Structure 1
Amino acid sequence: MDESSRLHDLYDHQILDSNPEKIFDELTYLASLICGTPISLFSLLDKDRQWFKSVYGIELKETSRADGFCHYLLDGATSLFEINDATNDPRFKDSPLVEGFPYISYYAGAPIKSASGNILGALCVIDQKPNSLNDHQKKALQILAGKATNYLKTRKALIDQQKNIELNASRLKQILDNTPGVIFQLRIQGDIDLSFDFISRGIEDIHPNLSDKKMKEQPRSFLQYIHPEDVMGFRQSIRKSASSLSLYKYNFRILSSNGKTKWYKVRATPQHIDQKTVVWFGTLMDVSGIMEYETILEQITFDISHVIRKPLTTLLALNSNLRNHDELNETDLREYSDMINIVIKELDVFTRKIDQFYQLKVADHQDRM
């Protein structure tokens, strides 16, 4: 027996010093009832003690492992260990558990094992006078110990599953917290009660006064950081989306601590949980750069429409004049040529400015990546 491995297995079950559980109390009750003994115990063997997960017929939480009987099952040599009269057995007659409380005379125990085969303890019955079990009672005690083993395995599997869930949840949270922008799950009940089931730490990048903790404690406090001109539209768009359960998209501004504004886009999918509750699964992204580019593109469009119109009009006029003159002397041609060169230079200067601006934006974008 590898005692180190056995103890590690026992501790991994997270059962020592845990609260009573009905399923184990039922097993000890059935063990006493079937075996006709006044006392039964579900014992787990720690390094230096016997700790009782369940007891029937006695008030006892633990005893010294060395003074007990159950550790004789640890070698796995028998499926049932029985002592008919401990007062006459040289191994036990001097034990304080025999000479004193609980005055053990009779003992029978069946091993309780882990999924890996380690013996963790025993389901045992005790009498304060000599006794013996018949074959049916012995078989029943072994069956009950097997049930205890199965319950422990199920309990351990649930603990492992919970650990995996918590680990995966922790890993997922780390991923979400390091994802650009904000990822959230918002719950709205009626039009009053707001609460964040989850919000990633990206909320801290929006404003120094915001945090995931604050959002969970004071979800409405977010509204005070929205630009005053956008608050009404923000509220109305939420109500509209909630009533229709349509995809929610809205652009709005946030007032930063230095007085400047940034543009953000919220995108969320609302879903009814019940008649009064809507849950939103969504993201919040900084789109200031996009809004800036859109503004620039609008300006470029304006410039193309208005600035280029003048030289194009001039070229069209020159072209018309050339078509209407049947004969042109050298002076006229030189004059037209000079005018065309002026227009070409104007267009060249304008296109160069657009190209320089584009190159600066490309370099700025690469620096941010």
Structure 2
Amino acid sequence: MSSKAQRLPADVSQVVEDADRLAVLRGLDAIDTAADADFDRITALAAAIIEAPVALVTLLDTDRQWFKSRIGLDAKETATDISFCAHAIAAGDDAMVVTDATLDPRFVRSPLVTGPEHIRFYAGVPIVVAGARIGTLCVLDREMKAAPPADRLAQLKTLADLAASLFTLKDANRNGAIAKAELAREEKRRAIALDAASLASWVWDVRTDIIDCDVLMAELFNLPPSNRLKARDILRAIDPRDVYQTETRFRDALSGSDDYFGEYRVTGFDPPRWIATRGRVVERDSDGKPTLIFGVNYDITERKLGDERQRLLLRELNHRVKNTLATVQALATQTVRHARQPSEFLEAFSARLQALGAAHSMLSDREWRGIGISELARTEVKPFETGDKPRIAISGPDLLLSPDQAVGLGLILHELASNALKYGSLTSPSGKVDLDWKTQSRKGARRLVLTWRESGGPQVAPPDRHGFGSILIRRSLAKVIDSEVTHEFRPGGVFAEISMSLEHALK
């Protein structure tokens, strides 16, 4: 209880401080609101009926009495503890009349009586909202007056009831506006969320076969833009390959539970568009058959294409692993056959395995979609650049090689560079290698022609016996269709030319 309310009589304070009354009052959120012409009309009528100069519509909180409407009084509020109206709401639902406040012990010392307002007469009727006396409609005079006739007090009570109805109506309108604004915000949030997630929401009235939906729904099914679609038009848009399964799963799901989930393709798109549906039965008839279904649709094409790419990649990987194991086995067998001692085998085999691994690593990073020839060439010959100044000049347009072309060419470049460092031009400080490539047309088909030229090294003579390195250079592209390898030991330096069709390379 507030300190001011404690100055009121205990029975009055109890009414003023009643929690239920205060809850209704504060729930109206009417205190400190703007002036309202509807309430001003009521105070004007009250003043005219009682023939008094002052009329108020008051709202009583614990510490202050605030005037929603006032005529003939400048003050906007007074303290509750000096209020006539506090006593009026404590007295009951009928009118309280004070004919001469100077003779009433409740008000004789009130500043409203002794002060400049000089109140002498008061007649007030409680305003009752939801069973709570939240304030009063009252009239005051600075001269004492006789008690108004009963019919005038009845009219004052009617006006107080009208004020109560106005508070109730305006609160309902306010709450309705708040609810409408909240609903609009919620709908906007929902729309933003659906749009961000690319979800098309819908409501299907099974009895009419009509689907009320977002415009995105029509777009997903390749139909003319509309917010109302027919379920049979949606069914016609489903790829014939998926219609039976979709219908069967839908019937099974709805007969066994309220939830449905399905995935299917939509006609008219290349590659096919995949759509997912999630639905829930929200209403059934007396026989238990669905009559109203809510749901969403969303595009899962990227996921499906990703799954398909993953399956293709796994198949490709399995194929490559088998080929790689076969290649490693052949490298090991041939390297052992041509090695003079175990250390020589280990060094040669490890280097060749690293060359093979480099090509495979690049292919794996690119999901086996191929490698650019420039990147492959630099990766394979980089380990053989031993000096501060580059001695292997690389040039040529970048082209994308298929996995088989990349692996085969990678092994060839490794062997050429390895031999150049051991026996060829790179054994001499003045030696160098020119590695370049270009495209040519032969019989209407594009071909890659790559050349390896060594110069500045020691005099070269054809070997008496070809080692496995030479064999590897000539045979590494055996799996590549229409490929040719020339490997010559010219006096000025080793020369190699690799030619292969680009019709089977990746573009």
Other-structure match for 1:304? 317
Task: Supply the distance in 1 between the matched residues of 2:240 and 2:338 (Cα, whole angstroms).
Answer: 66
Amino acid at match of 2:361: T
1:163 maps onto 2:174 in alignment: no
Other-structure match for 1:181? 198
Which of 77, 81, 99 is the matching residue for 2:48? 81
The structure with more radius of gyration: 2
Which of 356, 359, 381 is the matching residue for 1:349? 359
Task: Supply the distance in 2 between the matched residues of 1:239 and 1:276 (Cα, whole angstroms).
Answer: 11
Deviation readout 1:153-196 (Å, 9 max, x if unpaired): 3333333333333333333333333323224242444xx54444
1:267 maps onto 2:281 in alignment: no
Other-structure match for 2:156? 142
Contact 2:277 2:298 in 1 (8 A): yes
Displacement after TM superposition at 1:341 (Å) = 5.9
TM-score, L = length of structure 1: 0.52
Contact 1:265 1:287 in 2 (8 A): yes
Matched position secondary structure for 2:281: strand
Displacement after TM superposition at 1:140 (Å) = 2.7
Relative to 1, partners in 2 of residues 1:341 and 1:303: Cα closer, same or farther, differing over 3 Å? farther
Matched position secondary structure for 1:81: helix
Displacement after TM superposition at 1:285 (Å) = 1.8
Displacement after TM superposition at 1:264 (Å) = 1.7
Other-structure match for 2:470? none
Relative to 1, partners in 2 of residues 1:354 and 1:281: Cα closer, same or farther, differing over 3 Å? farther
Relative to 1, partners in 2 of residues 1:277 and 1:137: Cα closer, same or farther, differing over 3 Å? farther
Count of equivalent residues: 247
Deviation readout 1:325-357 (Å, 9 max, x if unpaired): 9x9951898689767766654554343123134
TM-score, L = length of structure 2: 0.39
Other-structure match for 2:300? 287
Relative to 1, partners in 2 of residues 1:302 and 1:171: Cα closer, same or farther, differing over 3 Å? same
Other-structure match for 2:127? none
Percentage identity across paired residues of the two chains: 13
Relative to 1, partners in 2 of residues 1:158 and 1:202: Cα closer, same or farther, differing over 3 Å? farther
Contact 1:242 1:278 in 2 (8 A): no
Displacement after TM superposition at 1:239 (Å) = 1.7
Larger relative contact order (Cα-Cα within 8 Å, sequence gap ≥ 6): 1
1:245 maps onto 2:257 in alignment: yes
Q: Where in structure 2 are the equivalents of 1:1-369 lying within 5 Å? A: 9=36, 74=41, 76=43, 79-82=46-49, 117-118=68-69, 135-178=149-192, 179=195, 180-189=197-206, 192-196=207-211, 199-203=213-217, 205-206=219-220, 209-215=223-229, 218-245=230-257, 247-256=259-268, 260-272=271-283, 275-277=288-290, 279-315=292-328, 330=340, 345-357=355-367
Task: Supply the distance in 2 between the matched residues of 1:276 and 1:203 (Cα, whole angstroms).
Answer: 25
Amino acid at match of 1:353: L
Displacement after TM superposition at 1:298 (Å) = 0.7
Contact 2:200 2:297 in 1 (8 A): yes
Contact 2:46 2:159 in 1 (8 A): no
Amino acid at match of 1:349: A
Displacement after TM superposition at 1:229 (Å) = 1.9
Task: Supply the distance in 2 between the matched residues of 1:343 and 1:235 (Cα, whole angstroms).
Answer: 55
Contact 2:313 2:367 in 1 (8 A): no
RMSD across aligned positions (CA): 4.5
Task: Supply the distance in 2 between the matched residues of 1:147 and 1:238 (Cα, whole angstroms).
Answer: 59
Task: Supply the distance in 2 between the matched residues of 1:141 and 1:358 (Cα, whole angstroms).
Answer: 94
Task: Supply the distance in 2 between the matched residues of 1:164 and 1:173 (Cα, whole angstroms).
Answer: 14
Task: Supply the distance in 2 between the matched residues of 1:284 and 1:309 (Cα, whole angstroms).
Answer: 42
Relative to 1, partners in 2 of residues 1:232 and 1:208: Cα closer, same or farther, differing over 3 Å? closer
In the TM superposition, structure 1's runs of 4+ consecutive aligned residues that sit over 4 Å from their partners are 110-116, 316-322, 331-347, 357-360
Displacement after TM superposition at 1:294 (Å) = 0.8
Task: Supply the distance in 1 between the matched residues of 2:169 and 2:291 (Cα, whole angstroms).
Answer: 35
Task: Supply the distance in 2 between the matched residues of 1:210 and 1:289 (Cα, whole angstroms).
Answer: 23
Amino acid at match of 1:157: D
Task: Supply the distance in 1 between the matched residues of 2:41 and 2:205 (Cα, whole angstroms).
Answer: 57
Deviation readout 1:250-301 (Å, 9 max, x if unpaired): 1112234x65521122223434455344544433221111111111111111
Amino acid at match of 1:295: E
Task: Supply the distance in 1 between the matched residues of 2:202 and 2:167 (Cα, whole angstroms).
Answer: 36
Task: Supply the distance in 2 between the matched residues of 1:271 and 1:226 (Cα, whole angstroms).
Answer: 24
Structure 2 residue ranges without an equivalent (≥5): 1-33, 60-65, 71-146, 371-507
Amino acid at match of 1:231: V
Bigger helix share = 1
Displacement after TM superposition at 1:236 (Å) = 2.2
Matched position secondary structure for 1:79: helix
Contact 1:181 1:203 in 2 (8 A): no
Displacement after TM superposition at 1:77 (Å) = 6.2
